[in-house]
Amino acid sequence: MTHYVVTSVRINDEGRNGELFMWAKVDPSVNRGRCLEKPHIASMEDIIAAIRDGNVVEMTFEAGIGTVSGGKLLEAHLPSGEVTVIEERANPGRMISDLPRF
């Protein structure tokens, strides 16, 4: 199993979903994960494929105490049939829409 952290997002034109994400593989045994590669852009499809393959995809946020987890991203199916990602814990200030933009 691979562990990824997502640190920023590009929101689609409707302003609802992330369409691109900045992510990197990390070593989760190190405090909040040490990057094993340079952060790079991933599509929604990349994120969903990683989740389906059993990998952990976690959001991280910078805070006054350092980097904090926003929880994992999970696959979700919309009524329209579209597949997207949602927050495992939708806590205010720690949601996809709260990630920095790129």
What digits encode the pLDDT tens for the residues 53-71? 999 999 999 988 888 999 9
Q: End-to-end CA distance of the chain: give it in Å, rounded.
A: 27
Give the confidence band of 31 by pLDDT, cuts at 50, 70, 90: low
Indicate the pLDDT class of residue 29, thresholds 50, 70 and 90: confident
Q: How much is the pLDDT for 32?
A: 58
Short-list 86, 47, 88, CA closest to 71 = 88
CA distances from 30 to 3, 19, 20, 44 (A): 12, 29, 26, 26
pLDDT value at residue 48: 98
Domain hosting 23: range is: 3-98
Say yes or no to pLDDT of 15 above 70: no
What would the two tokens of residue 82 be? 């579209």
pTM listed for this prediction: 0.90
The total number of structural domains in the chain stands at: 1
